[in-house]
Amino acid sequence: MLFTGTVQSKQLTLLYTAELPLIKNPPYGSYANLATLVSEIRAEQQPSLFLFGGGSLAPSMLSSFDRGAHVIDILNSIEPDAMGVAKREFSYFEDELSLRAYEAAFPLILSNAIDPLTGHGLDGTEQQLLLSKGNTRVGILTVIDNAASEEYLLQRLRIEPPYEDIINQARALREQGAELVILMISDELTFVNKLLKDGVVDLVLRNDPHYERPIASDEQPVSNYVIVTEDATAARITIQWPQNQPQQAAFNITMVPLSDYPEDDDIAAQVTAYDTRIKALLSEQVTLLTTPMDTTRSAVRTGENGFGNLVSDALREASHTDVALFNGGGIRGDRTYEKGHILTREDISSEIPFRNHIRVMKITGADLKAALENGVSRVEDASGRFPHISGMTCEVLLSAPPGQRIEKLLINGQPVQPGRYYTLATTDYLASGGDGYESLKRGIEVPFSQQVTPLIADIVISVLRRHTSLAASTSGRLMFISGKGN
């Protein structure tokens, strides 16, 4: 729709992208390509706005060292107008995110989080933002889902219900003169279409490469609910509306793969400097794969997996425990390896990028079974809580309701005894109740044998390099006996 004739109209070009944890990601584009696209749009003779949707401070090899500081440094060179805070930004907890916010030369927006220590938003971030672009004032909001508290073990922040928060803050932005209100989200929120139809906000931006379009027509996103569904892709949105009538805005949306644009020389040099440093640290060869290996998202979150077995076996071997447990969401390589591939420290660090440490504990058989029930409670959703186990075999009935799916559980070949204590090696994240593993919080911690508790990735590397070659194979330790193939 174009507004012509005597009607005066306004126009804004908006660029949005998110989830770029890898600063170099061939054959896909990344920050150097993004910089070229941003420069091109800013050179046009129209007001423009570049919003970065976050989801990028983790996971990556380099983030495991500097906790996302390099991403902020590169973004400082590209100069987004604002960055939304997504759940991944909490990978290293609240205080680290506050540090990144103070390092940023642009505002970080998180609208529905309250720090009880101050009664305000997270230190360093903004709860809302009002920008002037040409003769238009634009309000910016970002919310995260309440589930972030459990998924990322937020230690202090309180996540407010997003629906009420959006309504209240959008109203405040309108009162301050916002002509358009834009909302960035990183989760499926069922009320988005209602917010748009009711005119609470004018545009919703979301990045979700795993998005599945609803079948029901009334659940499908309306035209001003923009979802980027491809990796390393930006949405270019031209908004045009009659003067003083933003509710009649028309949206022209184009999805732009970043790889379509050449790399900006300055940003490419900045990326190369970081990449060179990390590769020098991570080039060490670990072992030779005698089988193919699959660490794609579905493979590590919906069934027994060869690499998941290697990780859980390494934890058990290093700690000399009865059993070990690792969650599929901790595996982030999302790739396949051919037979004969030489695994390097870089490969392992890419697969296990979070800075989780090993935790050893004594736990009852009943609590261990409850932990596994949690682990298989959301297989259908490819949840990151899916368990990779060592020293155990279990049979799972997926047709049963969550919490009642473990049909059989053996510990080192013997039926689990609910009242007996077993020794368990896991991550500090799971031991603290992350991903719904509440029963592990009842375990009794046992000091690890080393004075300094190592990172999970370092343990895996240490154990795997004892072998000149190994197979990443499944062994029937977790079997589905109904509703899903093994």
* CATH code for the domain in which residue 427 is found: 3.90.780.10
Picking from 253, 159, 171, the residue whose alpha carbon sits closest to that of residue 204 is 253
Provide the angle, in degrees to the nearest 10, between the axes of the packed helices 31-42 and 265-282. 170
Residues 299 and 219 in one domain: no
Stated pTM of the model: 0.78
Region 280-298: what's the mean pLDDT? 93
Q: Is residue 1 part of a domain?
A: no
Region 96-106: what's the mean pLDDT? 96
Domain termination site, one of 218, 244, 275: 275
Mean pLDDT of the chain: 93
Residues 139 and 256 in one domain: yes
Range of the structural domain that residue 470 is part of:
284-482
pLDDT digit string (tens) for 116-141? 989 999 999 999 999 999 899 999 99
Residues 261 and 361 in one domain: no
Residues 209 and 102 in one domain: yes
Which H helix or E strand runs over 342? strand 342-344
pLDDT digit string (tens) for 249-273? 999 999 999 999 999 999 999 999 9
Strand stretches in 18-120, DSSP E? 48-52, 82-84, 108-109, 113-114
Residues 294 and 214 in one domain: no
Residues 237 and 380 in one domain: no
**Running DSSP on this structure, what letter comes out for residue 454?**
P
pLDDT band of residue 65 (cuts 50, 70, 90) is confident
pLDDT at 301: 97
Residues 65 and 145 in one domain: yes
Residues 217 and 300 in one domain: no
pLDDT digit string (tens) for 21-61? 999 999 999 999 999 999 999 999 889 999 999 999 998 88
**Total of domains in the chain:** 2
Pairing of strands 158-159, 113-114: antiparallel
- Measured in whole angstroms, the distance separating CA 370 from the mean position of its chain's CA atoms is 26
pLDDT at 8: 81
For a pLDDT cut of 70, what percent of the chain falls above it?
96
pLDDT at 282: 83
